[in-house]
Amino acid sequence: MPIIEFHDVHKWFGPLHVLNGIDLKVDEGEVVVVIGPSGSGKSTLIRTIDRLEPIQRGSLVVDGMPVHDPKADVNALRRRVGMVFQQFNLFPHLTAVENIMLAPRKVKGLNAAASRKRAQELLAKVGIPEKADQLPVRLSGGQQQRVAIARALAMDPKIMLFDEPTSALDAEMIREVLDVMRQLAQEGMTMVVVTHEIGFAREASDRVVFMDAGRIIEDSPTGEFFAGAREERARQFLSKVIHH
Amino acid sequence: MPDLGVRASVCARGGRKDLTMPGAIMFEFPDLFFTGLFLTVQLSVLGSIGALAAGTLIALFRISPIPPLRWVGVAYVEFFRNTPLLVQLFFLFLGLGALGFRFWTTDTFESIFRAGAAGMALYHGAYVAEVIRGGLLGVDKGQIEAARSLGLSYVQTLRYVQLPQTFRATIPPLGNIGIALIKNTSLASTIGVAELLQAAEIVESRTFRTEEAFGAVVLLYLVLTIPASLGVNWLERRLLVAR
């Protein structure tokens, strides 16, 4: 039973056909990596799952909820789906722990003590318990992104979406973020990850989806994909990103 | 020369040699000056709170996804920003008074005071609205997306993410408006609020000690505005969010 199901999804930005007939299923507990050249629609694809981008045609059902339906309770959907962004997007006026506590308190109605305790646990999980009371500006990029992951996890989501989570990071910080993501994958979290980190895709994902020009060109189990992508465009892309 | 009479009266009492310490006259007429000062403070405080509340609400209207709210916001700002405060005060007290509206009080002095405070709040609210709107639009879109992706509603995102940052970031321009408001309360003297300026006018007409009376008002305004400026600077240092 898939937890995310795209069926013939289309989206346009003006005349640009960014999603052109997407069919994709993600099962519970699966880790799917989406790769492809820039402008191929990967980010848009992942953002539609959380309805940060509306779709114009087709159906998209996430955890039983019809996301394409304008009447769907979008806040209820988003409580079950965590999102991690390229630019971290921490709230700069709140400390690390307050960033994590905000949604559990205001959306779930948890009290301050319980949400703080949970936030501390999550900070420990992502490896920076000592940064709890720091404002984001005092944290490195890698630390900020780990706080952002903890913030998303605080809502106990069933699905985690990662939109190029390491693209804004310096090389030495990419690893600490990927380590947290690997751990999540091992714990059985359902994850959809847009990334250029081929190493992460190879080690941690179950499936690789290759997109180009708004279409899914190839959707293969990770082992097969790296052993030899069926599609010429995917092979070309791989050879470029691996030997850059 | 038309002001010869005044000069003559000053000279008759011995001219400038008689001048006391600047501001000393306020202690000769403490009732007038300090009651006036107190009314100025009241007008300033109530006016500022009202302006902040009105301005925040109108700013929220202006960025609202609901078009009629946006129209109300635009109409408010354009109306109150494009008419003189003095005229608004006359309209609020005399105009509405002629229509029978006296700000829910039968006491004339109270009614005048409320008209004055309302004028301060409404007029400066238009400027506050523009500053707050700018601040709200200045909050990074990514943060709003992050908040929404966590399940916070539109209103919760405004309340917990956008507004707190906006208030911090707009302290300097809001402080400017607050200080302008303190000074503009002097216009309320024209509709009969016995604030500082009017107190000085009364003293001046009783004593003809023109420069002393108005000199004292200048000093008392500075006593209000300079600490206000310092307070704004202090708040700015304390609360401005580093990015």
Nearest chain A residue (CA) to B165: A93
Would you call B243 exposed, middle or buried from its count of C-beta atoms within 10 A (0-12, 13-18, 19+)? Answer: exposed
Query: What does the pLDDT read at residue B23?
Result: 85
Q: Domain map of chain B by residue range?
A: 30-200+208-228
All residues of chain A having their beta carbon less than 8 Å from the beta carbon of residue B168 are 93
B173 touches chain A (CB under 8 A): no
Closest CA to B135 of B63, B51, B236, B228: B63
Q: What is the DSSP string of A129-145?
A: GGGTT--GGGS-HHHHH
Distance of alpha carbon B70 from alpha carbon B207, whole angstroms: 53
Nearest chain A residue (CA) to B167: A93
B56 touches chain A (CB under 8 A): no
Closest CA to A161 of A46, A52, A55: A46
Strand order through the sheet with A57-62: A16-27, A2-13, A57-62, A65-66
Are B109 and B116 in contact, with CB atoms under 8 Å apart? no
Question: pLDDT, tens digit, for every residue of B178-230?
Answer: 999 999 999 999 999 989 999 999 999 999 999 999 999 999 999 999 999 99
Contact call for B146 and A106, based on CB within 8 A: no
Given B140, B152, B168, which is nearest A107 (Cβ)? B152
Q: What is the DSSP string of A98-124?
A: HHHHHHHHHTS---HHHHHHHHHHHHH
Contact call for B149 and A90, based on CB within 8 A: no
All residues of chain B having their beta carbon less than 8 Å from the beta carbon of residue A91 are 143, 146-147, 161, 165
Element (H, E) at A180: helix A171-186
B156 touches chain A (CB under 8 A): yes
Per-residue pLDDT of chain A (244 residues), as tens digits, is: 799 999 999 999 999 999 999 999 999 999 999 999 988 999 999 999 999 999 999 999 999 999 999 899 999 999 999 999 999 999 999 999 999 999 999 999 999 999 999 999 999 999 999 999 999 999 999 999 999 999 999 999 999 999 999 999 998 899 999 999 999 999 999 999 999 999 999 999 999 999 999 999 999 999 999 988 788 888 888 888 776 5
Nearest chain B residue (CA) to A101: B150
φ/ψ (deg, to 5) at A196: -105, 5
What is the SS3 assignment for A93? coil
Are A1 and A158 in contact, with CB atoms under 8 Å apart? no
pLDDT band for B16, please (50, 70, 90 cuts): low
Q: Which residues of A touch B (CB under 8 A)?
A: 50, 52, 75-76, 78-79, 81-83, 85, 87, 89-93, 102-103, 106-107, 135, 137, 148, 151-152, 155
CB–CB contacts below 8 A, A to B: 72
Give residue B196's identity as a one-letter amino acid code: L
Distance of alpha carbon A91 from alpha carbon A89, whole angstroms: 6
| A235: closest CA of chain B, how far (Å) | 33
All residues of chain B having their beta carbon less than 8 Å from the beta carbon of residue A79 are 150-151
Question: pLDDT, tens digit, for every residue of B60-118?
Answer: 999 999 999 999 999 999 999 999 999 999 999 999 999 999 999 999 999 999 999 99
Distance of alpha carbon A112 from alpha carbon A101, whole angstroms: 8
B241 touches chain A (CB under 8 A): yes
Strands A207-212 and A215-221: antiparallel
Distance of alpha carbon A89 from alpha carbon A76, whole angstroms: 21
Q: Which residue has the tokens 């995102």?
A: B157
CATH superfamily, domain at B30-200+208-228: MetI-like (1.10.3720.10)
Average pLDDT, chain B: 90
Query: What does the pLDDT read at residue B22?
Result: 83
> Per DSSP, what are the bridge partners of residue B75?
none
**Does residue B12 register a pLDDT over 60?**
no
B148 touches chain A (CB under 8 A): yes
Closest CA to A200 of A165, A168, A228: A165
Global confidence as pTM:
0.87
Distance of alpha carbon B139 from alpha carbon A9, whole angstroms: 32
Query: What does the pLDDT read at residue B136?
Result: 96
**Would you state the structure tokens that stand for residue A98, as one six-digit string?**
């307050």
What is the SS3 assignment for B73? helix
Given A78, A135, A148, which is nearest B148 (Cβ)? A78
pLDDT band for B38, please (50, 70, 90 cuts): very high
Question: pLDDT, tens digit, for every residue of B164-183?
Answer: 999 999 999 999 999 999 99
Distance of CA A140 to the CA centre of its chain: 20
Given A79, A93, A152, which is nearest B164 (Cβ)? A93
Would you call B42 exposed, middle or buried from its count of C-beta atoms within 10 A (0-12, 13-18, 19+)? Answer: middle
Distance of alpha carbon A176 from alpha carbon B17, whole angstroms: 80
First to last CA, chain B: 62
Q: What is the CA radius of gyration of chain A?
A: 18
**Would you state the structure tokens that stand for residue A132, as one six-digit string?**
């709890």
Contact call for B151 and A92, based on CB within 8 A: no
Are A95 and A138 in contact, with CB atoms under 8 Å apart? no
Query: What does the pLDDT read at residue A181?
Result: 97
Q: Which residues contact A224 (CB under 8 A, 6 or more apart)?
A: none
Distance of alpha carbon B71 from alpha carbon A235, whole angstroms: 55
What secondary structure letter does DSSP report for B185? G
B149 touches chain A (CB under 8 A): yes
Nearest chain A residue (CA) to B164: A93
**Does residue B162 register a pLDDT over 80?**
yes
Contact call for B149 and A91, based on CB within 8 A: no
ipTM above 0.90, yes or no: yes
Closest CA to A41 of A60, A62, A24, A16: A16
**Would you state the structure tokens that stand for residue B1, as one six-digit string?**
């020369």
Closest CA to B147 of A103, A17, A77: A103
Contact call for B151 and A148, based on CB within 8 A: no
**Would you state the structure tokens that stand for residue A3, as one six-digit string?**
């937890």
B240 touches chain A (CB under 8 A): no
Given B151, B242, B243, which is nearest A79 (Cβ)? B151
What secondary structure letter does DSSP report for A66? E
All residues of chain B having their beta carbon less than 8 Å from the beta carbon of residue A83 are 145-146, 149
Are A206 and A213 in contact, with CB atoms under 8 Å apart? no
